[in-house]
Structure formats: structure tokens, C-alpha cells
């Protein structure tokens, strides 16, 4: 069996330029989408914790797939990759892989918050 390749530690938290391009350069709209992601992620994360605890593999797959899509839309590369692994854990009914992916999702979300707080500081300095 091939070794699972999880997100690289140095993988970007977010490709901001790509995300901005996806929304036609509208920073306000991108900020709104990121706010929605920040509202949605903790709920989905909690649902994943519960689904993993109860070994609900169909739900693990579904939640992983949904997070993968929303992460991809916002160019959240690390979270997209971790979500893909969660999706595959559900498909493969692999609880160990699901727990590992959950750890990466938590790490990725923290990295994203850190990245955006630094980005916000840079924007304020430019004004």
C-alpha cells in the first residue's frame, strides 16, 4: 500500500492572488466569502469529530467533500488537501486516516487565521 501524502508543512495556507482573481478582484466580496467560511468551518469540524467518533463514514465523506469544495473555491490550498484526505477516509472507511485528516484540518484552519491576520496587518500598513 502506498504511503498517504498529506499536506506539506510549507504548503500555502491561501493563494490570496488566485482567490482574488476568482472573485473578479473584489476584495470586499472575498472578505465576505472568507467570513462565511469562518462561520461554517467550526460547525463542520464539530460534525466531523462526531461522525468520526461514531464511525459514520458516509457523513465523513460528505463533510470532507463539502469542505474540499469550499476550500478550493477560496484557494485555501492546505485545507483543500486536508479535506480531500478526509473525503477519502470516508470513502475508504478508514478511521485512522480520518483522525489524521482531522488533525490537519485543525492545523490548516489555525494557519489560515494566522495568515489572514498578518495579511490584514499588511493592508492596514499600506493605507
Q: Where are the domains of the chain?
A: 16-119
Residues ≥6 apart with Cβ < 8 Å to 127: none
Residue 11 confidence (pLDDT) above 80:
no
Please give the share of the chain, as a percent, with pLDDT higher than 90.
76
Assess contact for 90 and 98: CB atoms under 8 A: yes
Closest CA to 105 of 58, 54, 27, 37: 37
- Side-chain half-sphere exposure of 114, counting CA atoms within 13 A: 8
> What mean pLDDT is predicted for residues 42-49?
97
| pLDDT attached to residue 54 | 98
Band of pLDDT at residue 122, cut at 50, 70 and 90 = low
Residue 7 confidence (pLDDT) above 70:
no
* Least confident residue range of 35-44, 73-82, 103-112, 117-126: 117-126
124 grid coordinates: 492596514
DSSP letter at 93 equals T
| pLDDT attached to residue 126 | 35
Helix H or strand E segment including 82? helix 77-92
Range 16-119 has CATH code 1.20.120.160: yes
> What mean pLDDT is predicted for residues 59-86?
96
Residues ≥6 apart with Cβ < 8 Å to 102: 45, 48, 49, 52, 86
| pLDDT attached to residue 1 | 39
Amino acid at each position: 500500500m502506498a504511503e498517504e501524502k498529506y499536506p506539506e508543512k510549507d504548503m500555502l495556507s491561501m493563494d490570496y492572488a488566485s482567490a482574488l482573481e476568482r472573485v473578479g478582484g473584489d476584495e470586499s466580496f472575498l472578505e465576505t466569502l472568507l467570513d462565511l467560511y469562518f462561520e461554517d468551518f467550526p460547525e463542520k469540524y464539530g460534525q466531523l469529530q462526531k461522525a468520526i467518533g461514531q464511525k459514520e463514514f458516509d457523513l465523513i465523506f460528505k463533510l470532507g467533500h463539502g469542505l474540499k469544495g469550499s476550500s478550493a473555491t477560496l484557494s485555501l490550498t492546505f485545507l483543500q488537501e486536508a479535506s480531500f484526505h478526509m473525503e477519502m477516509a470516508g470513502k475508504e472507511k478508514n478511521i485512522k486516516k480520518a483522525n489524521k485528516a482531522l488533525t490537519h484540518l485543525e492545523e490548516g484552519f489555525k494557519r489560515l487565521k494566522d495568515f489572514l491576520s498578518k495579511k490584514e496587518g499588511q493592508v492596514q500598513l499600506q493605507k
